[in-house]
A and B are shown apart, each in its own frame.
Chain A
Amino acid sequence: MAYNARSNRKTTNKKRFKGTYNRRKICRFCADSSLVIDYKDPKTLRYFTTERGKITPCRISGNCAKHQRMVTLAIKRARNIALLPFTTSLER
C-alpha cells in the first residue's frame, strides 16, 4: 500500500516536469523577418545580454543557431566600438 502511494507520486511529478520542459521558444528573428540584427542598434542587442553584459545562451534567449551566431557577432562588434559594455563593474 505504502509502496503504491510512493510510485504514484513519482509518476505525477514526472508528468509535471515534462510539461514545463516541452515548451519550446520560437526564434524571434525567424518568426518576424522584418527584424534586422544590427550592431549599431544597442537597444535591441541589450535584450540578449545579461545584467553583467554577458551574451545570453540561445537556450535562454530562444534564438535559432543561425540567428544566435548573428546576434553574438553583432554584440561583439557593438562592444568593440563602445556601444555595449564588455562587463559592468559592481559599484559600491
Chain B
Amino acid sequence: MMMKYYETLYLVNPNLADEDYKDVLTKFSALIEKNKGVLIKSDEWGKKSLAYPVKKFDRGYYVLLQYCGEPSITSDLRRDLKLDDRILKYQTVKLSDSADPEKLIREAQDSVEKVVEQPETAEKVGSEGLEKEVENGV
C-alpha cells in the first residue's frame, strides 16, 4: 500500500528528567501508531546547543521521527506537539508523496546493519574528504 512519507524534527526542553524525556519520546511515537501511521525511524540526536535561544533555552534535545501515513496524521501530530509545553519547536517535512512503508522499513534495517559492520575509522575518512572538497571549491 502506498502512503505519504513524512519527517518531523522536534526540540524537547533540555531541563527535563530522564523519565520525562522518555515519556515524551514514547508519547509521540505511540501517537503515530494510533493514527494508523507506520513509524520507520526514530532518531535521538541528544542534547545539542541551539543556533539561537528558543523560549529562553540555549540547548535542547533533538528528536527525529520518520513515518508514513495519511495527510491527517501531520495535523494530529502538530496539534499535540503544540499543546505539550515540554516541546520547544517542531517542523514537519514531506519527503515523498507515495512511498511503500514496508520497503522503507527494510531499507532502514539494512542501513543499520551496514553501520554496525563498518568500522568507525571509515566514516571519519568520508567526512574529512567532503570538507576538503568544500575547501577546494572556493
Contacts and interface: CB of A to CB of B under 8 A. Distances in A.
Interface in B4-33: 9, 11
B130 A81 contact: no
Contact of B134 (A47, A83, A84): A47
Contact of A81 (B9, B133, B134): B9
Contacts of A44: 130, 134
B60 A82 contact: yes
**Main SS class of interface, A:** loop
B116 interface: no
Contacts of A79: 51
B133 A86 contact: no
Nearest to B49: A82
Contacts, number: 36
Contacts of A62: 137
B133 A83 contact: no
A39 B93 CA distance: 10
B50 interface: yes
Contact of B89 (A28, A40, A82): A82
A62 to B, nearest CB: 7
Interface string A5-48: 00000000000000000000100100010010001101010010
Contact of B52 (A25, A39, A40, A86): A86
Nearest to B45: A40
A80 B130 CA distance: 25
23 contacts: A28-B134, A28-B137, A32-B133, A39-B93, A40-B9, A40-B64, A44-B130, A44-B134, A62-B137, A77-B91, A77-B93, A79-B51, A80-B91, A81-B9, A81-B11, A81-B89, A81-B90, A82-B11, A82-B50, A82-B51, A82-B52, A82-B89, A85-B52
